[in-house]
Every structure is written in C-alpha cells, then in structure tokens.
Amino acid sequence: MNSSLLLEISVETLGSAIAAERGGAHRIELCSDLSVGGVTPHVDLMRKTRAAVKIPVFAMIRARGGSFVYSDSELAQMQRDIEVAKSCKMDGLVLGILHADNTVDIERTRDLVKIARPLPVTFHRAFDETPNLHEALEAVIETGATRILTSGGKRTAQLGARVVADLVAAAGDRITILPGGGINTSNLAEIIRATRAHEFHSGLGTTLPYGQSSEAAFFSAVHELADLLCGGRR
C-alpha cells in the first residue's frame, strides 16, 4: 500500500483543529476568516493550536482579504506576522504575493520565504489568479517556496484536475503541487486518480458552512475524507 497520500485541512478555530486531528488529518492550515479565503490567525489561536495538536500546523500569512497585491505597510505587517508565527512554533507558512498584472511577485515573495526559513512555505491560491499557470509555476519555484496550493485555475480542483495533473508532471520533484478547492468525499477519489498528486487540501466549505458546523460534524466530515484517502492509497 502506498502510504504517501496526505490530507491537509484548513481551520479557523481551535475546536476545528482538534476535530481535524482526531478525524485523521495529517496537517492543518490555520487561518482566520476562511469566508474570505483566510487571513493571518491571531497569536493566541496559533499558540493554543500548537499546544493542543501534534500534527503539523501551517499558518496563513495574509494581511487582509481581497487582492494579493500588497502595499509596503501590508508587506511589513506580513513580515512581522511571520516572526510571530515562528515564535508560536508553527511548522510551516502559507502566503503569496502578486504584481498588479497578477503575475507572481518573485522578489517580494522570495523575501518572505527567506524570513520564514527554516519553515517551509506554501504558495496559496493566489497562484490561480495568474494569467499563465505554467509560467507561474516556474516563478514560484524561483521564490524558494516548497508547495503550491491550486485548483488548476478553475473554481474547484475537480474542474481543474486536468490542469493540476499537468502541473504535477511539470513540477516533478522541484516543488509539491497541492490540489485544493471544493474537495469533498464526492470527488476526492476522482481527483486522486486524475491529478496523481500526493497531498490534498480541503476546507470542507462545500460540505459544511464556514463557522456554522459543530465540532462533531467537522470531525465526521474529516474522518470520511481521511478514510477515502486511505482507500486511494491502494
């Protein structure tokens, strides 16, 4: 059995983080305000989550919702947030910066990646806003990031599965492609087969309303995904 498949779950509360771990998640993406795609979590949430769970926790570093073009003051805030996340013993960070034309801002993103070291960095779904995903792939590799979260430029990873598969092939062992966007129990097996990726990301937003599900419901949803992922390992 291939045991290399990994499930990352995005959460915005301590209770959801604990439920995700109990449900079988292998890694947590910790955010605030998932309704806008996630922003930097508060320091108390990072500290409490790190103390409560044993699996890796990657913190979102994003100054605000909206576009991925940031002012100098917002960039400075993200630099400070990285240092705070490192002090909270996060295991990795999730970030990304674009130019006004939606191409990857290599220089500014690279600067954040350097500040983040030795923590690995995931370039988030700002990637899907870029006009040419294969050019963006090469640009993100230049930044030193180790992972790209993507739906293949489509609304969901299911719709973009063919493009994600092409990105997985083009990336090779240079960077990890992490499919995400609308992944749930109804489509995970198909996405595993179609993309041939090894890591998968879900916020369960198509299964449970953000901020409105009980921890028991969140646990059950993650558990179903994790069980299905185990099936995908065969």
User: Would the pLDDT of 234 be above 80?
Assistant: no
Of 64-73, 123-132, 159-168, 198-207, the poorest mean pLDDT is in 198-207
Distance of CA 47 to the CA centre of its chain: 19
If residue 43 lies in a helix (H) or strand (E), which one and from where to where? helix 43-52
| Residue 175 identity (one-letter amino acid) | I
CATH code assigned to 6-232: 3.20.20.380
Burial class, 69, CB count within 10 angstroms (exposed 0-12 / middle 13-18 / buried 19+):
middle
Rg (CA), the chain: 16
DSSP one-letter string for 45-57:
HHHHHHHH--S-E
Report which of 52, 50, 74, 51 is spatially closest to residue 63, judged by C-alpha positions: 74
Q: Judge contact between 221 and 29, C-beta under 8 A.
A: no
Residue 68: per-residue pLDDT: 98
Q: Please, what is the average pLDDT of the chain?
A: 94
**SS3 string of 93-128?**
EEECCECCCCCECHHHHHHHHHHHCCCCEEECHHHH
Domain positions in the chain: 6-232
Residue 29: per-residue pLDDT: 97
Grade residue 3 by pLDDT with cuts at 50, 70 and 90: low
How many whole angstroms separate alpha carbon 176 and alpha carbon 173? 7
Residues paired with 150 in a beta bridge: 179
Q: pLDDT tens across 153-182, in order?
A: 999 999 999 999 999 999 999 999 999 999
User: Would the pLDDT of 85 be above 80?
Assistant: yes
* Order of strands across the sheet that contains 199-202: 176-179, 147-150, 121-123, 92-95, 57-60, 27-30, 6-11, 199-202
Residue 202: per-residue pLDDT: 95
Q: pLDDT tens across 21-77, in order?
A: 999 999 999 999 998 989 999 999 999 999 999 999 999 999 999 999 999 999 999
Beta strand residue intervals within the chain, DSSP E: 6-11, 27-30, 57-60, 92-95, 121-123, 147-150, 176-179, 199-202
Residues paired with 6 in a beta bridge: 199
Residue 28: per-residue pLDDT: 98
